[in-house]
């Protein structure tokens, strides 16, 4: 069943899947050969990716790639479906505290054009709805809502407003104007407490004025009321406390996985699988118990490989911290093709990785967690955490990937880059990665190769170049 770690193409996975079946591997209900996602869902991008060869990775990919069909099945079985947008991690903890409710992020449709190599035409359809390429790829969710070919139409759409990027604000308002009612809740821009002002500690070593925590707590009470109304059952402190405990269980497994992989002497799991695994934190890929099992199996695989001194990449791979998620998943393979390995990430939802305080009243704990969102505070707060984690995991270089058209990162990348360089003196590169990056591959390859070479020269005490 277990084999020495290596990366497989989609075609190679066909043979490996057969071997696993013959060896008696039992798969969950969403299991099967990965190729079927190309044949049935037109996820053509899978043919260009390299995958980890473990049974745990197979389960992760099948879980990730079946989310839409599992949501449709849940709807058929009578579950209520909530589309929660933008907050990336907080509202789903509340929704999953209610029986028969599933929350997902329609924002996740931004990966559909990549996976389908734009055969879905979502980006063109968005342009026809007045949301063109001057917006980030999240615009794909707008036509996905209307054509019903991807996720099911939610019974309730919940979206945060206030400290939200211009792109998302405009796209969500357009959605509402096109006849999809949105339940708005407000999150203020996080600010440092003034001198003498009562403050609260937030996850991620942050502080916020108590007045802001109170304001968010009141907003989340409205969200809890709306969710309770949808479920026909009130969402009180007891259910929320259980929901927080269950979410923390998953966050703890993910924390252990990140710690194991990013601190290992060589990479026990590839960057691409780590990106997908981290994404499970925000809404459990629409199945909370299963998300815990998927992550638990990945953690066990990483630990097993480390015990046996088996790694998927050579030990001299350069340790790279990656900032921002990539629209094209192929970029994570490329990082490793040029001699890098992942040793830390900030995929814009670090607040969904932190444990939610269990010693506080639940809505206050969730309010503090929501306010710790790296995207609702100053870029300098985000940069400080990146610097801390680069130090923790001995990062030798940083990649800041930009998302085309994204208003959140027009200047943020630059300020993070400057702070990291000043504090750590390690090379940093900032590069844009479109939903299908083939045309950019030569440029991206050269820039990542230069980054790896600069980090290697620095480690040897040679003069760094200008990265």
Residues forming contacts to ligand SF4 in the complex (CB under 6 A) are 136, 138, 165, 167-168, 375, 403, 406-408
Residue with smaller CB distance to ligand SF4, 168 or 393 = 168
Quickly tell me which residue has 């360089």 as its tokens: 421
Strand partners, 201: 207
Structure tokens at 409: 């990162």
Nearest distance from residue 138's CB to ligand SF4, in Å? Answer: 4
Determine the Cα–Cα distance for residues 277 and 272; give it in Å rounded to an integer.
Answer: 9
Residue with smaller CB distance to ligand SF4, 7 or 408 = 408
Q: Classify 346 as helix, strand or coil.
A: strand
Identify the burial level of 80 via C-beta atoms within 10 angstroms of its C-beta, where 0-12 means exposed, 13-18 middle and 19 or more buried.
buried
Nearest distance from residue 388's CB to ligand SF4, in Å? Answer: 22
Determine the Cα–Cα distance for residues 6 and 8; give it in Å rounded to an integer.
Answer: 7
Nearest distance from residue 54's CB to ligand SF4, in Å? Answer: 30
Residue 138 vs residues 144, 184, 261: alpha-carbon distances, Å? 10, 18, 29
DSSP string, 422-446: HHH---EEEEE--SS-GGGHHHHHH
Residue with smaller CB distance to ligand SF4, 297 or 430 = 430
Closest CA to 276 of 56, 90, 27: 56
- The CA-based dihedral angle spanning residues 86, 91, 92, 97, taken in that order and rounded to the nearest 10 degrees: -170
Nearest distance from residue 375's CB to ligand SF4, in Å? Answer: 6
Residue with smaller CB distance to ligand SF4, 398 or 403 = 403
Nearest distance from residue 242's CB to ligand SF4, in Å? Answer: 30
Nearest distance from residue 435's CB to ligand SF4, in Å? Answer: 12
Residue with smaller CB distance to ligand SF4, 244 or 409 = 409
Residue with smaller CB distance to ligand SF4, 3 or 410 = 410
Quickly tell me which residue has 């991690």 as its tokens: 89
Determine the Cα–Cα distance for residues 357 and 366; give it in Å rounded to an integer.
Answer: 8
Q: Classify 184 as helix, strand or coil.
A: strand
Residue with smaller CB distance to ligand SF4, 74 or 165 = 165
Residue with smaller CB distance to ligand SF4, 110 or 393 = 110
What distance, in Å, lies between the first and last C-alpha atoms of the chain? 44
What is the CA 134 to chain-centroid distance, rounded?
23
Nearest distance from residue 165's CB to ligand SF4, in Å? Answer: 3
Residue with smaller CB distance to ligand SF4, 401 or 454 = 401
Nearest distance from residue 347's CB to ligand SF4, in Å? Answer: 11
Identify the burial level of 450 via C-beta atoms within 10 angstroms of its C-beta, where 0-12 means exposed, 13-18 middle and 19 or more buried.
middle
Nearest distance from residue 198's CB to ligand SF4, in Å? Answer: 30
Break the chain down into helix, strand, coil percent, rounded to 5: 55, 10, 35
């Amino acid at each position: 069943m277990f084999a020495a770690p290596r990366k497989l193409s989609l075609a190679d996975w066909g043979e490996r899947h057969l071997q696993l079946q013959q060896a008696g591997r039992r798969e969950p209900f969403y299991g099967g050969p990965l190729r079927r996602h190309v044949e049935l869902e037109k996820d053509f991008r899978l043919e260009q990716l390299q995958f980890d060869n473990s049974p745990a990775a197979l389960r992760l990919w099948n879980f990730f790639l079946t989310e839409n069909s599992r949501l449709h099945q849940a709807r058929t079985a009578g579950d209520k479906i909530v589309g929660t947008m933008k907050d990336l991690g907080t509202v789903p903890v509340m929704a999953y505290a209610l029986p028969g409710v599933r929350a997902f992020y329609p924002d996740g449709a931004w990966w559909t054009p990549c996976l389908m190599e734009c055969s879905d035409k979502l980006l063109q359809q968005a342009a026809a709805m007045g949301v063109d390429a001057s917006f980030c790829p999240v615009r794909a969710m707008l036509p996905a809502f209307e054509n019903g070919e991807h996720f099911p139409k939610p019974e309730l759409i919940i979206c945060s407003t206030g400290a939200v990027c211009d792109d998302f604000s405009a796209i969500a308002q357009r959605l509402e104007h096109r006849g999809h009612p949105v339940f708005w809740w407000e999150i203020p821009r996080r600010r440092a407490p003034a001198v003498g002002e009562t403050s609260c500690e937030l996850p991620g070593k942050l502080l916020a004025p108590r007045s802001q925590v109170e304001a968010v707590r009141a907003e989340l009470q409205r969200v809890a009321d709306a969710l309770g109304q949808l479920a026909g059952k009130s969402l009180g402190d007891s259910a929320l406390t259980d929901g927080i405990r269950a979410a923390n269980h998953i966050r703890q497994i993910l924390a252990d996985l990140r710690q194991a992989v990013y601190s290992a002497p060589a990479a026990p799991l590839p960057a691409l699988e780590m990106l997908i695994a981290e994404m499970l934190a925000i809404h459990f890929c629409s199945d909370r118990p299963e998300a815990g099992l998927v992550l638990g199996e990945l953690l066990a695989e990483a630990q097993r490989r480390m015990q046996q001194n088996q790694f998927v990449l050579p030990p001299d791979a350069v340790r790279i911290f990656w900032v921002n998620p990539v629209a094209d998943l192929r970029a994570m393979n490329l990082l490793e093709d040029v001699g890098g390995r992942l040793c830390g990430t900030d995929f814009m939802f670090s607040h969904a990785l932190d444990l939610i305080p269990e010693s506080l009243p639940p809505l206050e704990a969730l309010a503090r967690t929501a306010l710790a969102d790296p995207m609702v505070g100053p870029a300098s707060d985000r940069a400080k955490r990146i610097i801390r984690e680069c130090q923790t995991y001995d990062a030798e270089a940083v990649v800041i990937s930009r998302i085309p058209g994204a208003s959140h990162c027009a200047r943020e990348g630059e300020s993070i880059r400057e702070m990291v360089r000043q504090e750590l003196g390690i090379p940093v590169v900032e590069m844009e990665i479109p939903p299908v990056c083939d045309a950019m591959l030569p440029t991206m390859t050269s820039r990542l190769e230069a980054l790896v070479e600069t980090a290697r020269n620095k480690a040897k005490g040679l003069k760094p170049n200008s990265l």
